[in-house]
Amino acid sequence: MNSLRRQLTRTLLGAITVLLGTALVAMALLVRHALLGSFDAALQTKTLAVSSLVETEDGRVQFDFSDDFLRGFGAEGPRTYFEIWDAAGVVIARSPSLAKGDLPREALGREAPGPAWALNLPGGGRGRAVGIDFTVKPSNPAQPMIPAPRVQLVVATDSAETEATLLRLLATFAGCGALLIAAVWLVVPWALRRGLAPLDEFGSEVARLTADTLSAPVSVAGLPVELRSVAERLNELLARLAKSFERERRFSADLAHELRTPLAELRSLAECALKWPEARDPATDRDVLEIALQMEVLVSRMLQLARGEHQQLAAVLVPVDLPGLVSEVWRPLAARAEARGLRATFAVEPGTVSADAVLLRGILQNLFENAVAHAPAGTEIRVSGASAADGQGYVLRCANAAGDLTPEDVGQLFERFWRKESARSTGGRHLGLGLSLARMFALAMRWRLTAALTPDGWLEFTLETERPAVL
């Protein structure tokens, strides 16, 4: 399993180990360079001191050696050596510490000591040497020799003590580095466990969420800043899921509630037909068919609502003659309105709108059916339409007497299966889904459908576009 903590641990341990190792190596190299630089500087100073003793007298090169002046070059316990040659390579002088040995001539500096180099000393062991090729100064500066003779000088000294010091320092660095790396390998996993503990707690809290606890959001208080935004987005997602689950539960409950009555009627009719088959009334079949059709309409409309809530209603916008569609939708309802003594007046201005003809027909049919079914008998139904004030849309209104509707009732008109108790008590086959479907169809076309009570007690539905719709 891919683990963020494991990846962070490996990355941090590897990076810190490499950085510590690099830093320790760099420090060791710097210390070595500083020690050897100091050692070589002292050796170059000794070389200059020895070269200052070389003089010329009566045309001959002379070297005045003194143990008091050049301590460490003696034969007893030798640690420092020198050797001098003339221009022809003949040895002029050598330190007593050399006995009959010779020093190699390498990297001779001209008139100044050259760079130091490592060598094996005549007495054994490792050392470092510095060489110089210089012009000998006359003992009497008033009578310089022409041409002045040139000699070569090499001075070497034992570097065992310096190398031992360097090894001790390197061992100290290595030990400290090992301890630091060991501490890092202990501290980093502990620090990551401690630092990522809020993430573990957050994961445990999320793991406890169920479909029944979606309404209880994840606590944001106390979370680190990095997790707070994640928790906030998660709470928003949980809120949407809770609404979705509640919508699904309500859908199932509403469907079961609405199907209960027609199913009970079907069962009653079936039981009667089985109990008294000889007295079977032909009207029973018509009742069964009517109930079946009612159930079919209910299921069809519920499916349409579910599709609309999941944004699966695809509106195909085409030019639609709105006055003509209004007349066409009203025509089948005219007889029912006349039977209830309802008068319909239309004031729809000519206009062609961009809409889905099927969805717009469904909206008008539901609005007109609602008005015909619920307007008080003997009252008026008013349908009007005109271009919007800005000329970029169209507004259609359908109004009828509100009867006993209250402002609180108007706020529930678009809820599924909502019907005022007085409407339920009159029987009928209205499902309480028409206005919910009408609003869903309007949203699919990016139209807006609202309802309001006018000051003179009329219920007015307003359908208006949310885009330039007049063609």
Domain boundary among 252, 280, 309: 309
Beta strands in 388-430 (DSSP E): 394-401
| CATH code of the domain containing 272 | 1.10.287.130
pLDDT digits (tens, 9 = 90+) for 437-471: 788 888 888 889 999 988 888 999 999 886 555 44
- In the chain, what percentage of residues exceed pLDDT 90? 12
User: Is 184 part of any domain?
Assistant: no
394-401 and 458-465 strand pairing: antiparallel
Residue 79 C-alpha from the chain's centroid? 68
Domain boundary among 285, 309, 333: 309
d(CA 79, CA 126): 11
Same-domain status, 271 and 390: no
pLDDT of 422 higher than 50: no
User: Is 456 part of any domain?
Assistant: yes
Residue 179 C-alpha from the chain's centroid? 37
Range of the domain at 145: 4-166
pLDDT of 426 higher than 60: no
User: Is 131 part of any domain?
Assistant: yes
- Which residue has better confidence, 162 or 391? 162
The whole-number pLDDT of residue 424 equals 41
User: Is 173 part of any domain?
Assistant: no
Same-domain status, 382 and 437: yes
| CATH code of the domain containing 420 | 3.30.565.10
d(CA 284, CA 292): 12
Same-domain status, 302 and 326: no
pTM above 0.95, yes or no: no
Same-domain status, 301 and 325: no
Same-domain status, 325 and 346: yes
Q: Treating both helix axes as pointing N-terminal to C-terminal, what angle do 434-444 and 357-374 enclose, rounded to 10 degrees?
A: 150
Same-domain status, 17 and 157: yes
What 8-state DSSP symbol labels residue 217? P
Same-domain status, 162 and 34: yes
Same-domain status, 85 and 231: no
User: Is 133 part of any domain?
Assistant: yes
Same-domain status, 286 and 322: no
- Which residue has better confidence, 313 or 371? 371
| CATH code of the domain containing 91 | 3.30.450
pLDDT digits (tens, 9 = 90+) for 231-248: 888 888 888 887 777 777
Number of domains in the chain: 3
Same-domain status, 146 and 244: no
60-63 and 54-57 strand pairing: antiparallel
User: Is 196 part of any domain?
Assistant: no
pLDDT of 427 higher than 50: no
Same-domain status, 240 and 355: no
pLDDT digits (tens, 9 = 90+) for 393-417: 889 999 998 877 878 777 777 776 5
User: Is 185 part of any domain?
Assistant: no
Long-range contacts of 164-170 (CB under 8 A, 24+ apart): 165/35, 166/31, 166/32, 166/35, 166/36, 169/28, 169/31, 169/35, 170/28, 170/31, 170/32
Residue 232 C-alpha from the chain's centroid? 14
Same-domain status, 231 and 325: no
User: Is 331 part of any domain?
Assistant: yes
